[in-house]
Amino acid sequence: MGAGKTTIGRRIAEIKGMSFVDSDHEVEKRTGVDISFIFDMEGEDGFRKREREMIAELSEQPNTVMATGGGAVLDESTRDLLSARGVVVYLETSLEQQLARTRKANNRPLLEGSEDIEATLSKLMEERDPLYRSIADVVVATGEQQARRLAREIVEQLEAIGTA
Protein backbone atom coordinates (compact mmCIF):
# COMPACT_ATOMS: atom_id res chain seq x y z
CA MET A 1 0.00 0.00 0.00
CA GLY A 2 1.41 3.33 -1.05
CA ALA A 3 4.36 1.78 -2.90
CA GLY A 4 3.57 3.50 -6.19
CA LYS A 5 2.43 0.41 -8.11
CA THR A 6 0.09 2.32 -10.41
CA THR A 7 2.42 5.26 -11.06
CA ILE A 8 5.48 3.12 -11.69
CA GLY A 9 3.51 0.52 -13.62
CA ARG A 10 2.27 3.23 -16.00
CA ARG A 11 5.84 4.44 -16.52
CA ILE A 12 7.12 0.93 -17.25
CA ALA A 13 4.31 0.42 -19.76
CA GLU A 14 5.24 3.73 -21.47
CA ILE A 15 8.91 2.75 -21.68
CA LYS A 16 8.12 -0.68 -23.08
CA GLY A 17 5.31 0.47 -25.40
CA MET A 18 2.86 -1.80 -23.61
CA SER A 19 -0.66 -1.41 -22.28
CA PHE A 20 -1.24 -0.66 -18.61
CA VAL A 21 -4.04 -1.87 -16.38
CA ASP A 22 -4.72 -1.52 -12.67
CA SER A 23 -6.73 -4.43 -11.27
CA ASP A 24 -8.34 -2.29 -8.54
CA HIS A 25 -9.49 0.30 -11.06
CA GLU A 26 -10.90 -2.44 -13.27
CA VAL A 27 -12.89 -3.90 -10.36
CA GLU A 28 -14.30 -0.44 -9.65
CA LYS A 29 -15.11 0.12 -13.32
CA ARG A 30 -16.92 -3.21 -13.62
CA THR A 31 -18.90 -2.90 -10.43
CA GLY A 32 -19.61 0.82 -10.68
CA VAL A 33 -18.61 1.36 -7.05
CA ASP A 34 -15.37 2.01 -5.23
CA ILE A 35 -13.43 -0.63 -3.35
CA SER A 36 -14.39 0.83 0.02
CA PHE A 37 -18.05 0.21 -0.85
CA ILE A 38 -17.28 -3.38 -1.85
CA PHE A 39 -15.48 -3.88 1.47
CA ASP A 40 -18.47 -2.43 3.32
CA MET A 41 -21.01 -4.60 1.50
CA GLU A 42 -19.10 -7.85 0.96
CA GLY A 43 -16.20 -7.68 3.38
CA GLU A 44 -12.60 -8.32 2.52
CA ASP A 45 -13.37 -11.90 1.42
CA GLY A 46 -15.90 -10.67 -1.13
CA PHE A 47 -13.45 -8.12 -2.48
CA ARG A 48 -10.60 -10.67 -2.67
CA LYS A 49 -12.83 -12.99 -4.71
CA ARG A 50 -13.56 -10.19 -7.18
CA GLU A 51 -9.90 -9.25 -7.23
CA ARG A 52 -8.80 -12.84 -7.93
CA GLU A 53 -11.27 -13.15 -10.83
CA MET A 54 -10.17 -9.80 -12.29
CA ILE A 55 -6.48 -10.67 -12.07
CA ALA A 56 -7.15 -14.04 -13.70
CA GLU A 57 -8.80 -12.24 -16.62
CA LEU A 58 -6.31 -9.38 -16.90
CA SER A 59 -3.27 -11.65 -16.68
CA GLU A 60 -4.31 -13.27 -19.95
CA GLN A 61 -3.85 -10.00 -21.85
CA PRO A 62 -0.62 -9.94 -23.85
CA ASN A 63 1.89 -7.08 -23.67
CA THR A 64 0.33 -5.61 -20.55
CA VAL A 65 1.79 -4.20 -17.37
CA MET A 66 -0.59 -4.77 -14.47
CA ALA A 67 -0.63 -3.12 -11.07
CA THR A 68 -2.48 -5.13 -8.45
CA GLY A 69 -3.89 -4.09 -5.13
CA GLY A 70 -1.50 -4.42 -2.22
CA GLY A 71 -3.33 -7.41 -0.76
CA ALA A 72 -3.58 -9.45 -3.96
CA VAL A 73 -0.72 -11.65 -2.74
CA LEU A 74 -2.77 -12.84 0.23
CA ASP A 75 -4.66 -15.28 -2.00
CA GLU A 76 -2.56 -18.31 -2.93
CA SER A 77 -4.27 -18.86 -6.28
CA THR A 78 -3.69 -15.20 -7.19
CA ARG A 79 -0.01 -15.55 -6.31
CA ASP A 80 0.16 -18.66 -8.50
CA LEU A 81 -1.49 -16.81 -11.40
CA LEU A 82 0.81 -13.83 -11.14
CA SER A 83 3.89 -16.00 -10.92
CA ALA A 84 2.89 -18.31 -13.78
CA ARG A 85 1.59 -15.70 -16.21
CA GLY A 86 3.98 -12.83 -15.83
CA VAL A 87 7.05 -11.23 -14.41
CA VAL A 88 6.49 -10.00 -10.86
CA VAL A 89 8.16 -6.85 -9.56
CA TYR A 90 7.90 -6.18 -5.84
CA LEU A 91 8.15 -2.49 -4.98
CA GLU A 92 9.58 -2.59 -1.49
CA THR A 93 8.61 0.53 0.44
CA SER A 94 9.54 1.62 3.93
CA LEU A 95 6.92 2.09 6.61
CA GLU A 96 7.79 5.80 6.70
CA GLN A 97 7.09 6.14 2.98
CA GLN A 98 3.82 4.26 3.30
CA LEU A 99 2.73 6.55 6.12
CA ALA A 100 3.57 9.66 4.12
CA ARG A 101 1.81 8.38 0.98
CA THR A 102 -1.34 7.11 2.67
CA ARG A 103 -1.78 9.73 5.40
CA LYS A 104 -4.38 11.78 3.54
CA ALA A 105 -5.89 9.01 1.42
CA ASN A 106 -9.55 8.28 2.00
CA ASN A 107 -9.75 5.27 -0.32
CA ARG A 108 -7.85 2.74 1.78
CA PRO A 109 -10.45 0.43 3.33
CA LEU A 110 -7.94 -1.41 5.51
CA LEU A 111 -6.87 1.89 7.08
CA GLU A 112 -10.35 3.34 7.58
CA GLY A 113 -11.21 3.49 11.24
CA SER A 114 -7.70 2.52 12.29
CA GLU A 115 -6.66 4.32 15.44
CA ASP A 116 -3.00 3.52 14.79
CA ILE A 117 -2.28 3.62 11.06
CA GLU A 118 1.42 2.97 11.62
CA ALA A 119 0.66 -0.25 13.53
CA THR A 120 -1.85 -1.32 10.86
CA LEU A 121 0.64 -0.72 8.04
CA SER A 122 3.36 -2.50 9.99
CA LYS A 123 1.13 -5.55 10.50
CA LEU A 124 0.17 -5.61 6.82
CA MET A 125 3.82 -5.38 5.80
CA GLU A 126 4.80 -8.18 8.17
CA GLU A 127 2.10 -10.40 6.68
CA ARG A 128 2.61 -9.49 3.02
CA ASP A 129 6.36 -9.00 2.62
CA PRO A 130 7.26 -12.74 2.64
CA LEU A 131 4.44 -13.42 0.16
CA TYR A 132 5.67 -10.73 -2.24
CA ARG A 133 9.21 -12.05 -1.97
CA SER A 134 8.08 -15.62 -2.63
CA ILE A 135 6.85 -14.74 -6.14
CA ALA A 136 8.98 -11.71 -7.07
CA ASP A 137 11.30 -11.96 -10.03
CA VAL A 138 12.74 -8.57 -9.07
CA VAL A 139 12.66 -6.70 -5.76
CA VAL A 140 13.21 -2.95 -5.94
CA ALA A 141 13.42 -0.53 -3.03
CA THR A 142 11.44 2.54 -4.02
CA GLY A 143 13.27 5.04 -1.84
CA GLU A 144 12.89 8.69 -2.76
CA GLN A 145 13.53 8.22 -6.47
CA GLN A 146 11.26 9.75 -9.08
CA ALA A 147 8.83 7.29 -10.67
CA ARG A 148 10.24 7.77 -14.17
CA ARG A 149 13.79 7.01 -13.07
CA LEU A 150 12.71 4.05 -10.96
CA ALA A 151 10.72 2.63 -13.89
CA ARG A 152 13.81 2.86 -16.13
CA GLU A 153 15.88 1.06 -13.49
CA ILE A 154 13.28 -1.71 -13.23
CA VAL A 155 13.22 -2.16 -17.01
CA GLU A 156 17.03 -2.36 -17.01
CA GLN A 157 16.95 -5.02 -14.27
CA LEU A 158 14.32 -7.01 -16.14
CA GLU A 159 16.38 -6.82 -19.33
CA ALA A 160 19.48 -7.91 -17.42
CA ILE A 161 17.74 -11.10 -16.24
CA GLY A 162 16.23 -11.65 -19.66
CA THR A 163 12.58 -11.10 -18.83
CA ALA A 164 11.85 -7.80 -20.56
Is 103 flagged in the annotation as binding? no
Is 52 flagged in the annotation as binding? no
Is 93 flagged in the annotation as binding? no
Is 2 flagged in the annotation as binding? yes
Is 69 flagged in the annotation as binding? no
DSSP single-letter state for residue 140: E
What is the Cα gyration radius of the chain? 15
Is 45 flagged in the annotation as binding? no
Is 70 flagged in the annotation as binding? yes
Is 146 flagged in the annotation as binding? no
Is 13 flagged in the annotation as binding? no
Strand pairing category for 89-92 and 19-22: unpaired
Is 7 flagged in the annotation as binding? yes
Q: Break the chain down into helix, strand, coil percent, rounded to 5.
A: 60, 10, 30
Is 145 flagged in the annotation as binding? yes
Please give the full DSSP string across 19-62, using - where no structure is assigned.
EEEEHHHHHHHHHSS-HHHHHHHHHHHHHHHHHHHHHHHHTTST
Among residues 19, 11, 7, the alpha carbon closest in space to that of 64 is found at 19
Binding-site sequence positions? 2-7, 24, 48, 70, 108, 128, 145
Binding-site sequence positions for substrate? 24, 48, 70, 128
Binding-site sequence positions for ATP? 2-7, 108, 145
Binding-site sequence positions for Mg(2+)? 6
